[in-house]
């Protein structure tokens, strides 16, 4: 790299705008969308789509709700021509089929042939207007380029809306001054005015001027300035649909498209997950869901984004990056402890709030309670992703992550200090394996550690009864029998304020160490006839060590007694 790059690269200078308006505007509605996956996306793939893949992609775009779809460059190949015919024959009545052609007479004719019989068709032609392209690629002067654009527009008009045999089709016309982002803004306006006159649009039948950042040249505010400049200079603005076609060379296509809408654009062309030439076209998923998370309907349905991503990956043969906004595998996941803690607290707060409002269904919650969860700008369920995938656990995780998984999978709402104790077990396993732990591995670790589910408790209560302790008001007496994992059995007898303390007293008379109960929590799990009690008991031994035990049972007292026995087993076997 050069120490002084200014000798090789020049700073981009945008149009001079004295009274720019766009910075004080806000985005309040969705633009018109045009998906160009099947044209601009397809032309940039190492292995372009087969007809079958194009069909599947087309159907997906229709299902998402796109009403304007650029299906091909029909003069490029027989595959593109044939696919255009398929789209013409199968497109729903309200979907406009768009096709692209360069400003070459024979190619325009072939392009229009491919649209014969369409219900709604947009003929899109492009011509490079930037000085760099005119000089290097075409060798045309400004006047010659303008004349070519007008000639081709008139040809399209003659072959479409002016042709008596083409009246079954509703025609629209789109013109792209290529590399608009690098075109002298006054020249772009001059060419478009001439094209406007040649096409003869009306308010009802607007012409589309698509203003591409064919190559993204500068910061997004400059693209917005270019669009505002164009909109302010074009006469008969209400006969024009201003369209954007941002590429992502500097990584700012989404921002450029958003600012350029503030600057007056009505329509956006792009691809799903930003496929397209070089760094891609603007990503329509991101643009649409950015609107959605501001409470604005994008008029596109991404309710099953994982399925859409699968189809896009299959047809493009390119992976959706794992960090792609909204659709990437990792974007609704948190691994780090403080993120997981905040997300978990966010969900708990939302659940409390829903319970307070008496709301039980997702539909009602979606209508009545604004989404506010730290680190999650969007409810993953709205785009077909699950809450289970939100929190994933590795050695960067803290207590919140593992306890979230236990809550979601086993319905166990662990007390704080048990969360801390269990997170040490998880941390050790993650470090030993040197990788992320699956949810099933974490629930299995918990079950083994605290003898729940399929893992039998080593000490068992064989028989018990809780009686009144006649020597003390309100006191209780435990009488019963237990068996250790050695097979040895003990008859027990103890007193306390309740069943648990009397059991602890009874145990302490026959087994080391002496224990007392420090903390206790219980709740129900399951529903209907399957409901069970869960008891968490933290026990302290005479030398000050603590241990947790967890008991799950239909009988709430037995759940507590089992929990206590498990913590005793720990003292006797693990210290």
Ligand X SMILES: CC(C)C(=O)C(=O)O
Ligand Y SMILES: CC(=O)SCCNC(=O)CCNC(=O)[C@H](O)C(C)(C)COP(=O)(O)OP(=O)(O)OC[C@H]1O[C@@H](n2cnc3c(N)ncnc32)[C@H](O)[C@@H]1OP(=O)(O)O
Give CA–CA dist 328/462, Å, rounded: 53
Give CA–CA dist 189/57, Å, rounded: 35
With b meaning 16 or more CB within 10 Å and e meaning fewer, what string describes 389-413?
ebbbbbbbbbbbbbbbbbbbebebb
Query: Count residues contacting ligand X (CB under 6 A)?
Result: 10
The distance of closest approach from Cβ of residue 342 to ligand X in the complex, given in angstroms and rounded to an integer, is 41
Using CB under 6 A, which of the segments 210-218, 224-232, 386-394, 450-458 binds ligand X?
A: 210-218
Which secondary structure element, helix H or strand E, spans residue 289, and what is its range?
A: helix 284-292
| Residue 210: contacted member of ligand X, ligand Y, none (CB under 5 to 8 Å, by partner type) | ligand X
Instruction: Give Cβ neighbours of residue 17 (< 8 Å, ≥ 6 apart).
Output: 225, 228, 229
Nearer to ligand X, 124 or 385 (CB): 124
Residue whose tokens read 């074009």? 234
Give CA–CA dist 484/503, Å, rounded: 15
CA distances in angstroms from 83 to 36, 49, 88, 91, 172, listed in the order given: 14, 11, 9, 12, 20
- Between CA 548 and CA 553, with CA 549 as vertex, the angle to 5 degrees is 150
Is residue 214 part of the contact set for ligand X (CB under 6 A)?
A: yes
Nearer to ligand Y, 40 or 174 (CB): 40
Q: 107 to 136, contacts with ligand X by CB under 6 A? A: 126
The distance of closest approach from Cβ of residue 124 to ligand X in the complex, given in angstroms and rounded to an integer, is 7
The distance of closest approach from Cβ of residue 220 to ligand X in the complex, given in angstroms and rounded to an integer, is 17
Is residue 40 part of the contact set for ligand X (CB under 6 A)?
A: yes
Enter the DSSP assignment of 559: H
Q: Which two tokens stand for residue 282?
A: 């603007």
Q: Which two tokens stand for residue 10?
A: 């020049």
Residue whose tokens read 């997906």? 60
Nearer to ligand X, 244 or 406 (CB): 244
Is residue 496 part of the contact set for ligand X (CB under 6 A)?
A: no
**Site string (91-110) toward ligand X, x via CB under 6 A:** ---------x----------
The distance of closest approach from Cβ of residue 425 to ligand Y in the complex, given in angstroms and rounded to an integer, is 56
In terms of Cβ atoms closer than 10 Å to its own Cβ (0-12, 13-18, 19+), residue 276 is: buried
Using CB under 6 A, which of the segments 4-12, 153-161, 208-216, 429-437 binds ligand X?
A: 208-216
SS3 132: helix
| Residue 137: contacted member of ligand X, ligand Y, none (CB under 5 to 8 Å, by partner type) | ligand Y
| Residue 423: contacted member of ligand Y, ligand X, none (CB under 5 to 8 Å, by partner type) | none
Is residue 178 part of the contact set for ligand X (CB under 6 A)?
A: yes
Give CA–CA dist 336/401, Å, rounded: 8
Is residue 80 part of the contact set for ligand X (CB under 6 A)?
A: no
The distance of closest approach from Cβ of residue 155 to ligand X in the complex, given in angstroms and rounded to an integer, is 18
Is residue 280 part of the contact set for ligand X (CB under 6 A)?
A: no
Nearer to ligand X, 281 or 290 (CB): 281
Enter the DSSP assignment of 252: -
Enter the DSSP assignment of 463: E
Query: 104 phi and psi, to 5 degrees?
Result: -130, 125
SS3 239: helix
| Residue 245: contacted member of ligand Y, ligand X, none (CB under 5 to 8 Å, by partner type) | ligand X
Is residue 212 part of the contact set for ligand X (CB under 6 A)?
A: yes
CA nearest to 136, candidates 200, 192, 97, 179:
179
Is residue 173 part of the contact set for ligand X (CB under 6 A)?
A: no
Using CB under 6 A, which of the segments 206-214, 216-224, 390-398, 437-445 binds ligand X?
A: 206-214
Q: Which two tokens stand for residue 553?
A: 């049972």
| Residue 75: contacted member of ligand X, ligand Y, none (CB under 5 to 8 Å, by partner type) | ligand Y
CA nearest to 81, candidates 95, 99, 94:
99
The distance of closest approach from Cβ of residue 127 to ligand X in the complex, given in angstroms and rounded to an integer, is 9
The distance of closest approach from Cβ of residue 137 to ligand Y in the complex, given in angstroms and rounded to an integer, is 5
Give CA–CA dist 447/454, Å, rounded: 8
Give one word for 364, left, alpha or beta, with left for phi > 0 and alpha for psi -120 to 50. alpha
Nearer to ligand X, 253 or 517 (CB): 253
Across the beta sheet with 515-525, the strand order is 515-525, 532-541, 546-553
Nearer to ligand X, 178 or 228 (CB): 178
Nearer to ligand X, 210 or 535 (CB): 210
Q: Which residues bind ligand Y (CB under 6 A)?
A: 40, 43, 73, 75-76, 102-104, 126-128, 137-138, 178, 214
Using CB under 6 A, which of the segments 61-69, 207-215, 396-404, 506-514 binds ligand X?
A: 207-215
Is residue 176 part of the contact set for ligand X (CB under 6 A)?
A: yes
Q: 223 to 262, contacts with ligand X by CB under 6 A? A: 245, 247
Rg (CA), the chain: 34
| Residue 43: contacted member of ligand X, ligand Y, none (CB under 5 to 8 Å, by partner type) | ligand Y
Using CB under 6 A, which of the segments 59-67, 68-76, 156-164, 209-217 binds ligand X?
A: 209-217
- Binding footprint of ligand X on the chain (CB under 6 A): 40, 100, 126, 176, 178, 210, 212, 214, 245, 247
């Amino acid at each position: 790299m050069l120490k002084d790059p200014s000798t090789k690269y020049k700073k981009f200078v945008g149009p001079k705008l004295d009274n720019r308006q766009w910075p004080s505007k806000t985005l309040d509605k969705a633009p018109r969308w045009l998906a160009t996956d099947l044209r601009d996306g397809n032309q940039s793939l190492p292995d372009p789509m087969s007809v079958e893949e194009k069909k599947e992609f087309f159907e997906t775009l229709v299902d998402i709700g796109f009403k304007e779809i650029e299906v091909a460059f029909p003069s490029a190949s027989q595959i593109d021509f044939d696919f255009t015919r398929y789209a013409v024959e199968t497109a729903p009545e309200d979907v406009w089929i768009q096709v692209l052609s360069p400003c070459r007479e024979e190619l325009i004719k072939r392009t229009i042939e491919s649209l014969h019989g369409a219900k709604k068709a947009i003929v899109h032609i492009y011509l490079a207007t930037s000085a760099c392209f005119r000089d290097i690629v075409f060798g045309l002067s400004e006047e010659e380029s303008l004349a070519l654009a007008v000639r081709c527009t008139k040809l399209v008009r003659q072959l479409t809306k002016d042709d008596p045999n083409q009246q079954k089709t509703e025609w629209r016309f789109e013109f792209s001054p290529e590399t608009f982002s690098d075109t002298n803004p006054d020249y772009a306006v001059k060419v478009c005015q001439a094209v406007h006159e040649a096409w003869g649009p009306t308010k009802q039948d607007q012409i589309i001027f698509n203003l591409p950042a064919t190559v993204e040249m500068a910061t997004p505010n400059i693209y917005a300035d270019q669009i505002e400049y164009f909109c302010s200079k074009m006469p008969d603005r209400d006969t024009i649909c201003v369209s954007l076609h941002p590429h992502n060379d500097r990584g700012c296509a989404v921002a450029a498209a958003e600012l350029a809408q503030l600057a007056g654009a009505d329509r956006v062309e792009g691809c799903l997950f930003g496929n397209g030439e070089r760094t891609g076209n603007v990503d329509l998923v991101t643009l649409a869901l950015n609107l959605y998370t501001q409470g604005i309907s994008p008029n596109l349905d991404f309710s099953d984004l994982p399925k859409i991503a699968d189809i896009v990956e299959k047809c493009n043969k390119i992976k959706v990056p794992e960090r792609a906004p909204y659709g990437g595998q990792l974007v609704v996941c948190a691994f780090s402890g403080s993120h997981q803690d905040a997300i978990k607290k966010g969900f708990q707060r939302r659940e409390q709030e829903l319970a307070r409002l008496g709301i039980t269904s997702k539909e009602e919650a979606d209508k009545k309670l604004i989404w506010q969860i730290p680190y999650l700008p969007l409810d993953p369920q709205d785009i077909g992703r699950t809450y289970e995938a939100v929190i994933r656990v590795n050695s960067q995780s803290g207590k919140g992550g593992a306890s979230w998984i236990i809550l979601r999978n086993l319905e166990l709402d662990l007390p704080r200090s048990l969360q801390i104790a269990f997170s040490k077990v998880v941390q050790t396993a993650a470090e030993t394996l040197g990788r992320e732990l699956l949810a099933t591995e974490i629930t299995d670790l918990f079950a083994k550690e605290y003898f729940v589910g399929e893992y039998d408790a080593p000490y068992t209560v064989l028989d018990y009864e809780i009686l009144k302790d006649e020597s003390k008001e309100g006191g209780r007496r435990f009488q019963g029998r237990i068996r250790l994992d050695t097979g040895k059995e003990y008859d027990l007898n103890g007193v306390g304020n309740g069943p648990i303390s009397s059991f602890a007293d009874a145990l302490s008379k026959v087994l080391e160490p002496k224990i007392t109960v420090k903390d206790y929590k219980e709740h129900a799990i399951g529903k209907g006839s399957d409901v069970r009690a869960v008891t968490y008991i933290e026990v302290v031994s005479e030398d000050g060590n603590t241990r947790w035990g967890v008991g799950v049972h239909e009988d709430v007292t037995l759940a507590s007694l089992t929990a206590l026995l498990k913590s005793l087993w720990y003292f006797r076997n693990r210290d």
